[in-house]
């Protein structure tokens, strides 16, 4: 049975804000019209603060500040080393606040504290990485001796609109903020309305690091209000969005009128494929962590586990036994492995899929609220076996601690099952056969593949998906490409030879 931690206490960090404001042109401000929305914590589901609810007029002010800072401010014109120094100071500040950041992130999202701590360090590393990258960046030059030279001039594009999700929000904000700022753009950040707490910390971090006013602006609010206004704003040429696919489709439509640059990392229903020759214990470890870490609220979750028939029963038995022992409870307790889902709305969505799964698969573990946790957005790690490929829990993104296990007979069937969804973000493949591993990875419809490993990733590699899982890639030089214009400059060396029309 899934174990739970003590429920008597509800940890509340000290010095919590009771009101979260926008940050525009170096100042904390409320919405022009005074609108607010409530912010709750996922353990008690009680409101602990209000947040300014951005509307079109608030986005207009933020974009105007960002545009002024881009057009007339020093940031885009700074030498890369000067910007890099500020980015490294930002990283220093994030690392210095690791404990506080993790505490607030856990309180706001319900993520286990041990997993939230790692997010702060990863956020700092994103800033250090892009500080290094822009100093080392060089552009191409092509020449024909004695005839011509052509070179590429990279330029920041302008105001980047960044729309971020509520799962590991602080770290995922850093994925966008670091490259956008490193390349000389100014930004307007619209964080997820469920989790605005940690995003509010960026303002002071940036100010203390010496980022000029107007370069970073933050507008809280609902996606259909603040987010929609940011996407449609004619002075925002770039939108980077991480979130679910339906919202991504709406952004795609709304960005079309102004032909905006788009980078979108969307939903996933990633396969974890386990062949009979795999290191079974390692595969079980990875397949458990891959769907139950971060409360299952992770885009790259391997939530469809495909297992070769020869080891299917053994795998299911081991997997279910481990899932039943996962510690669910107070997110601030270091023993907790699965905390509370982010919001009651999301809890109801995941709980509804658990009920659907009971008619679509054989329930091996979980199946509802854990014992001893009568309040809060808790769902026990839930395992369904014998799930058909047309089942909803096989096809649809649940974004919670719920997994579907399906058997396969051979390599061809495994590949067909792996590719049998509209999504294509990640894939995990477990086999000792090197030829199979590489052939399978190259044929699976996924933007990222992990072979006999779990989520190890070099920041230089592209991050993104195919099909309904995204548009474009970021990470490393792909981020530099997205946040800059590449202007080709051509020069003739020597006599200009042009046809003399009309001579």
The CA–CA distances, whole Å, from 470 to 16, 112, 142, 255, 271 equal 36, 28, 33, 15, 16
Catalytic residue list: 265
- Cα separation of 176 and 191, whole Å? 11
Burial class (CB in 10 A: 0-12, 13-18, 19+), 43: buried
Alpha-carbon span 503 to 500, nearest angstrom: 6
For residue 458, the model assigns a pLDDT of 92
- Cα gap 188→74, rounded to integer Å: 17
Angle at 43 between CA 219 and CA 165, to 5 degrees: 30
pLDDT under 70 in the chain at which residues?
A: 1-9
CA distance 44 to 340: 10
Distance in angstroms (rounded) separating the CA atoms of residues 150 and 465: 33
Tell me which residue has tokens 């022009």. 32
pLDDT at position 164 is 98
How many distinct helices (H) and strands (E) make up the chain? 15, 23
Domains of the chain listed by start with CATH number: 19-266+469-487 (3.40.605.10), 271-451 (3.40.309.10)
Give this prediction's pTM: 0.96
The DSSP annotation for 115-177 comes to HHHHHHHHHHHHHHHHHHHHHH----EEEETTTEEEEEEEEE-SEEEEE--SSSHHHHHHHHH
The count of other CB atoms within 10 Å of the CB of residue 99 is 11
C-beta of residue 214 within 8 angstroms of C-beta of residue 66: yes
Nearest to 251 by CA among 234, 270, 229, 219: 229
């Amino acid at each position: 049975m899934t174990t739970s931690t003590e429920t008597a206490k509800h940890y509340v960090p000290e010095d919590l804000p009771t009101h979260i404001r926008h940050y525009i042109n170096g100042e904390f401000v409320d919405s022009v019209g005074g609108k607010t929305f409530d912010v709750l914590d996922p353990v008690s589901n009680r409101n602990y603060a209000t947040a300014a609810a951005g509307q079109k007029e608030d986005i207009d002010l933020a974009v105007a500040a960002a545009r002024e800072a881009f057009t007339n401010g020093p940031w885009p014109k700074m030498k890369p080393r000067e910007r890099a120094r500020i980015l490294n100071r930002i990283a220093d500040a994030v690392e210095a606040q690791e404990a506080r950041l993790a505490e607030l992130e856990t309180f706001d999202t319900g993520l286990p504290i041990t997993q939230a701590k790692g997010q702060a360090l990863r956020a700092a590393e994103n800033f250090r990485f892009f500080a290094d990258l822009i100093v080392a960046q060089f552009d191409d030059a092509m020449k024909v001796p004695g005839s011509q030279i052509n070179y590429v001039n990279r330029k920041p594009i302008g105001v980047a609109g960044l729309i971020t999700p509520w799962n590991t929000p602080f770290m995922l904000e850093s994925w966008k903020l670091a490259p956008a700022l490193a390349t000389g753009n100014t930004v307007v950040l619209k964080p997820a309305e469920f989790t605005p707490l940690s995003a509010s910390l960026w303002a002071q971090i940036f100010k203390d690091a010496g980022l000029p006013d107007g370069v970073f602006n933050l507008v809280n609010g609902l996606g259909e209000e603040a987010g929609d206004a940011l996407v449609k704003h004619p002075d925002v040429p770039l939108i980077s969005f991480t979130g679910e696919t339906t919202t991504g489709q709406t952004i795609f439509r709304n960005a079309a009128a102004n032909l905006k640059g788009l980078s979108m990392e969307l939903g996933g229903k990633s396969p974890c494929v386990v062949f009979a020759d795999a290191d079974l214990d390692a595969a079980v470890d990875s397949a458990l962590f891959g769907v139950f870490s971060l409360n299952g609220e992770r885009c790259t979750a391997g939530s469809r586990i495909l297992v070769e028939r020869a080891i299917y029963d053994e795998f299911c038995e081991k997997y279910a036994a481990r899932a039943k022992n996962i510690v669910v409870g107070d997110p601030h307790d270091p023993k907790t492995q699965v905390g509370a889902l982010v919001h009651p709305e999301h809890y109801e969505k995941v709980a509804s899929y658990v009920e659907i799964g009971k008619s679509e698969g054989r329930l091996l573990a979980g199946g509802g609220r854990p014992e001893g946790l009568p309040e809060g957005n808790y769902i026990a790690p839930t395992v369904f076996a014998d799930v058909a490929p047309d089942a909803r829990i096989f096809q649809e993104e649940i974004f919670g601690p719920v997994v579907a296990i399906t058997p396969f007979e051979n390599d061809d069937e495994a590949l067909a099952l792996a590719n049998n969804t509209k999504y294509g973000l990640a894939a995990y493949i477990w086999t000792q056969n090197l030829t199979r591993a590489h052939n399978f990875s190259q044929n699976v419809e996924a933007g990222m593949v992990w072979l006999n490993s779990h989520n190890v990733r070099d920041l230089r590699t592209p991050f993104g998906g195919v099909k309904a899982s995204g548009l474009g890639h970021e990470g490393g030089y792909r981020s530099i490409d997205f946040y800059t214009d590449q202007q080709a400059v051509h020069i003739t060396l020597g006599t200009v030879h042009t046809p003399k029309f009309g001579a």
